[in-house]
Amino acid sequence: MRAITFDIESISDSNVRGRVDVNEQELIVVAIHDSETNEYSAYYKEELPRLWPILERADMLIGFNSDTFDIPLLNRYYPGELAHIRSLDLLAEVQKVLGRRIRLQSLAEATLKRGKSGDGLKAGEWWREGKKDKVREYCIADVQLTRELYDYALKNKVLKYKDLREIRDIKLDISTWEKKSEDVPAMTHALQL
């Protein structure tokens, strides 16, 4: 099964904190891990046509908060419909069990014993300062964390988080994660633009 783990960095002129409106965001970079090649790569907005054939050959997209943010935002740039590709949102999986959202930083620290290299607001500042490579590296680092959390969950059937002073397990049902979906046929060719 070919899985693409991915993350997006975006910017917005809106200074509202809290819930981010996907429609106000402008995509700046997409980072991926391709399970077929075991390589990490990143694509700036102008390079997205090189990303589409990779996504179209994927059996599954793996992300963190990807079903409500990354996929809808990326879909605004994609000439087709990314909802046709099966997705696994680790945040949604955690929320199903806990009934609440847990930050990627919290999961990574408790599960992997290391955290993120920055945050999305800082990435926006770096972008405005012209530090494109720093944003790219930050996005790839988030993909690495997401991929490592996915692999950890597959092996251990849990992720961990810190609840006040204790590290607690989030028991996950991973039984369908690696099964190839028969409901949605994988795309096998790039769209002609």
What's the total number of domains in the chain?
Answer: 1
Cβ density class 94-106: b for 16+ within 10 Å, e for less:
beeeeeeebebeb
Residue 3 forms beta bridges with which residues?
Answer: 60
178 within domain boundaries: no
Assess if residue 183 is contained within a domain: no
Domain contains 143: yes
Average pLDDT over residues 37-49: 97
Query: Residue 54 to residues 34, 98, 108, 163, 166: CA-CA distances in angstroms?
Result: 8, 33, 27, 38, 41
**Residue 6 in contact with residue 61, Cβ under 8 Å?**
yes
**Cα–Cα distance for residue pair 75/177, rounded to 1 Å:** 23
- Expressed as residue numbers, the domain containing 22 is 3-171
Separation between Cα atoms, residue 4 and residue 52, nearest integer Å: 12
pLDDT tens-digit series, residues 149-183:
999 999 999 999 988 889 999 999 999 999 876 65
* DSSP string across 71-100: HHHHHTTSSS-GGGS-EEEHHHHHHHHHSS
| Residue % of the chain over a pLDDT of 70 | 86
Burial of 165 (0-12, 13-18, 19+ CB in 10 A): exposed
Is residue 8 pLDDT above 70, yes or no? yes
Q: What is the pLDDT of residue 126?
A: 84
Would 189 be classed as within a structural domain? no
- What average pLDDT does the segment 108-116 reach? 88
Give yes or no for a contact between 104 and 142, defined as CB atoms under 8 angstroms apart. yes
Assigned domain for 68 exists: yes
Predicted TM-score of the model (pTM): 0.88
Residue 28 has pLDDT above 60, yes or no: yes
> Any idea what the CATH number is for the domain that residue 52 is in?
3.30.420.10
